[in-house]
Structure 1
Amino acid sequence: MTVESTVTRGPRKRAAAKKTPGGQPDLVQLLTPEGKRVRPTKALAEYAAFVEDITPEELRGLYRDMVLTRRFDAEATSLQRQGELGLWASLLGQEAAQIGSGRATRPDDYVFPTYREHGVAWTRGVDPTLLLGMFRGVNNGGWDPTTNNFHLYTIVIGSQTLHATGYAMGIAKDGADSAVIAYFGDGASSQGDVAESFTFSAVYNAPVVFFCQNNQWAISEPTEKQTRVPLYQRARGYGFPGVRVDGNDVLACLAVTRWALERARRGEGPTLVEAFTYRMGAHTTSDDPTRYRHDDERAAWEAKDPIIRLRAYLEAQSHADEAFFAELEAESEALGKRVREVVRAMPDPEHLAIFDNVYADGHALVDEERAQFAAYQASFADGEDK
């Protein structure tokens, strides 16, 4: 499997630059779909300054991150199709949004993800195989959140934004020089929890960045059926800035997130970043996107593929040669092999462990259910599960 095999090269189109009435760019883009650097205008300069001194080595690192994240994601999808995972939420197409924003964080920042932030987890140093335990049903998370300041995945839609806001309010009171970033999707932006987190973060000037990956579809519901205005403009009603960034441009995502995090650390409060991107695959492996969207829509977004875009720039600037790409291809295959081996070797959990730690001091109903399940297991004459 090649690093670009999950998408195809399509016709390139260049969007016209637009600005909001206030003079801010409607879409922050620093690298075009053709892989050309955008000359910073006055409106872009504030963000472009955060990647002005980026080195070829750092650019290769971003490319490597995206390639390996995509390879891991593709392997996880295959494992689910083979019955090794119960479910998987693919990030295909959203690598730039996640890698760019994740690499903008500092080690002392704290990240609150949803359940699709595999690329962000990679940037935080979380072993990708640890992400798979929950989807295989062998644990309830798989990693210690305090080790990498990366919280466990959140399945409940939107609730992590409240957790992030509360955490950010806490570190502000502690006087810590760090920030918080919360990830959610366009669908979650319709949840009341997100609205509440916007209110509290604004009122208490919390050092939090709300990073919304607008991948155009909340399962089968398109964005235009969720909002009458661009999502980033919602921030204005709460009293803090919102920025829309090209979510398939890793440089722009890196720059804008650095800008927003620095703003938070300076005590200037929250920011909403809308990464305008696209979910290339299904919502999860239980979804069939062909039932609600057309192939030509995906084809148009394939022409904006974040990995192909950065590779074109690396090659045009002679920042990477064929030896680099070949070595990375071998590394990605090795990663896929390791993921397969680790997943298949995961031990099954103790069946009664699901009842542990539900309540700190125990509960009569939980004790009753535990006893019933234990009796059910013991009812099989051969002692094996059915």
Structure 2
Amino acid sequence: MPSEHWTHPEPGDGPAAAAAQPTPEQVIAGLRATSEGGAELTQLLTPEGERVASPQFDRYVDDIDAEALKGLYRDMVLVRRADREANAMQRQGQLGIWVPLLGQEAAQIGSGRALEKRDMAFPSYREHGVAYARGIDLKEVLGIFRCTDHSGWDYQAHRFHPYTIVIGNQVLNAAGYAMGQKFEGKVGDEDSEATICYFGDGATSQGDVHEGFVWAAVYDAPIVFFCQNNQWAISEPTERQSRLPLYQRARGYGFPGIRVDGNDVLACLAVSRWALEECRHGNGPVLIEAFTYRMDAHTTTDDPTRYRLSDELEEWKLKDPIERVRAYLARGGGADQAFFDQVQADSDAFAAELRDYCFNMPEPPPDRIFSHVYAESTPLLDAQREEYLSYLDGFIGAGEH
């Protein structure tokens, strides 16, 4: 019996190992397992850095030679280094909060690099890697978590919507946007577009997500629903969210679902390219479940040691998305030590640049919060601004602001 059947049983397969004593063979199989996600998991690069052939998806990464793969590796290293620096800056009081992406770099860089410039992306609040892939300066992302900006980028120019903090709400926004693409005839020709929407496994328990699925399915909207299943919705495991693997939920809405190894940047790139192509040709929507793991806390206000075991974390460290690409490049001669050292140096310089910017970021004036709420101001907004400034003027030393 494959290990995934007793660690993550399918409906009707009987009890899991937690409720029945596994055989020695099952224990050995579990210890030797190098991938998770079951028999339906799409994987092109194993945790050991070995290439796996896929008749269905190989053609979507035919252009990824050693140089292109080095670029993906560099993307992931820089994004991880920026994430770790931001995490440290929050601990030092420079950011109000931070949402780590540690461990999810492959899912975000792979899917982000699959997008064409004309496509639109709708993030939640953890998609720093996708933002980077869409050409957004991560300094602008820091402004959100330092509480100085709603979002600092032009979302139309970058085709990347502002972060959404309300769990699952972006799915409705994205479904509506994709419906608009369909209504405006931006599907089915050489200039066709698609939308991708990011959310986590916990968001699948929100009504907004299901409503978005329904509307997208009814109108054949060109949208890829990209679920980063990092196994923990704050403090609840995926097993408490669904009886079925999340990708199988798509069947109930009448569109395809697929599970991809979310720690495999090649597989995430290939599957995302396939799904986006399906949507651009009018065969959407598509649900992708990127099976990955959150290596850090849900946010910097969370303590994951209260609800998960350290051996689980250690197991997933063996499936690190960056190390498998490094192993593949090193084994095949695609990169030497000088390349890896240079990428590390570049990532340190990148982090130092972010740190310098954050520590020296000017404090915004108090009326900044009212800026850019609407394309044009309204009488009500003007009144609220004046009332707020008048309130501040009532304090001692108010003129200093």
Considering the TM-score relative to the shorter chain, is it more than 0.5? yes
In the TM superposition, residue 373 of structure 1 has moved relative to its aligned partner by 5.3
In the TM superposition, residue 147 of structure 1 has moved relative to its aligned partner by 1.4
**Structure 2 residue corresponding to 1:340, chosen from 346, 355, 367:** 355
The aligned counterpart of 2:379 is 362
Within 5 Å, give how 1:242-261 maps onto structure 2. 242-261=257-276
Within 5 Å, give how 1:196-211 maps onto structure 2. 196-211=211-226
- Any conservation in 1 of the 2:329–2:335 contact (CA below 8 Å)? yes
In the TM superposition, residue 254 of structure 1 has moved relative to its aligned partner by 0.5
The aligned counterpart of 2:198 is 183
1:378 and 2:394 aligned: yes
- Any conservation in 2 of the 1:12–1:304 contact (CA below 8 Å)? no
**Structure 2 residue corresponding to 1:275, chosen from 290, 304, 314:** 290
What is the CA deviation profile of residues 278-328 of structure 1, one whole-angstrom value per residue up to 9, with x for unaligned ones?
000000011111111110010010010000111000001100011111111
The aligned counterpart of 1:138 is 148
The aligned counterpart of 1:225 is 240
Q: State the aligned residue count.
A: 364
What is the CA deviation profile of residues 133-178 of structure 1, one whole-angstrom value per residue up to 9, with x for unaligned ones?
0111111111110111011111111111111111111112222201
- The runs of 5 or more residues in structure 1 that have no matched partner are 1-10, 20-25
Moved more, 318-327 or 49-58: 49-58
| Amino acid in structure 2 at the alignment position of 1:106 | E
- The runs of 5 or more residues in structure 2 that have no matched partner are 1-30, 187-191
- Any conservation in 2 of the 1:13–1:33 contact (CA below 8 Å)? no
1:368 and 1:175 mapped to 2: Cα distance?
41
1:98 and 1:247 mapped to 2: Cα distance?
9
| TM-score, scaled to structure 2 | 0.87
Paired residue secondary structure (2:299): coil
Moved more, 100-109 or 52-61: 52-61
What is the CA deviation profile of residues 237-271 of structure 1, one whole-angstrom value per residue up to 9, with x for unaligned ones?
00000000000011110010000000001111100
In the TM superposition, residue 113 of structure 1 has moved relative to its aligned partner by 0.5
**Structure 2 residue corresponding to 1:329, chosen from 307, 320, 344:** 344
Moved more, 173-182 or 207-216: 173-182
**Structure 2 residue corresponding to 1:152, chosen from 151, 162, 169:** 162
**Structure 2 residue corresponding to 1:30, chosen from 44, 54, 73:** 44
- Root-mean-square deviation over aligned CA pairs: 1.9
| Amino acid in structure 2 at the alignment position of 1:380 | I
1:105 and 2:125 aligned: no
| Amino acid in structure 1 at the alignment position of 2:394 | A
- Any conservation in 2 of the 1:138–1:346 contact (CA below 8 Å)? no
The aligned counterpart of 2:26 is none
- Any conservation in 1 of the 2:143–2:151 contact (CA below 8 Å)? yes
**Structure 1 residue corresponding to 2:98, chosen from 88, 98, 106:** 88
What is the CA deviation profile of residues 26-75 of structure 1, one whole-angstrom value per residue up to 9, with x for unaligned ones?
100111111101133xxxx2122211342111100110000000001011
2:117 and 2:229 mapped to 1: Cα distance?
26
- The 3 A distance-change label for structure 1 pair 213 and 120 is same
| TM-score, scaled to structure 1 | 0.90
- Any conservation in 1 of the 2:247–2:289 contact (CA below 8 Å)? yes
In the TM superposition, residue 356 of structure 1 has moved relative to its aligned partner by 5.0
The aligned counterpart of 2:66 is 56
- The 3 A distance-change label for structure 1 pair 313 and 83 is same
Paired residue secondary structure (1:363): helix
